[in-house]
Structure formats: structure tokens, C-alpha cells
Amino acid sequence: MNEIEKYVRPYDDNFTTMVPTNFVIKMRTCKIWQFIRFIIINIKMLIVVRKSH
């Protein structure tokens, strides 16, 4: 938690968004993880559509 806290200063004048951690950057650029997320999101969408029809 301390690593995240050094990036986030909520009462700073220049506070706009959080800076992503190294782990988040790696997960966003990992093609394997993105493919897994794509499959999971599509399965969730299929479930929602199937319930509505």
C-alpha cells in the first residue's frame, strides 16, 4: 500500500488521476492477459444477452 500512496496525493493542487503502478502497466501491455480479459468479457456479454431474450 505504501508504494501506491507515494503516487497519490489527493489534496495536491495538481491532482487529476492516479499514476499506474508497474504491475498495472505490465498487465495492460501483456497480450496473453488482454486475450483472457477479452474472452471473459465476451462470455459475460453472451450471458447478459441470453437472459434478455
Domain residue limits, the chain: 18-53
Q: Which pLDDT tens digit goes with each residue over 5-53?
A: 676 666 666 666 678 899 999 999 999 999 999 999 999 999 999 998 6
User: What's the pLDDT score for residue 12?
Assistant: 66
Question: How many C-beta atoms lie closer than 10 Å to residue 48's C-beta?
Answer: 9
Q: Give me the helices (H) in 1-53, please.
A: 2-5, 22-29, 31-52
Task: Give pTM, 2 decimals.
Answer: 0.57
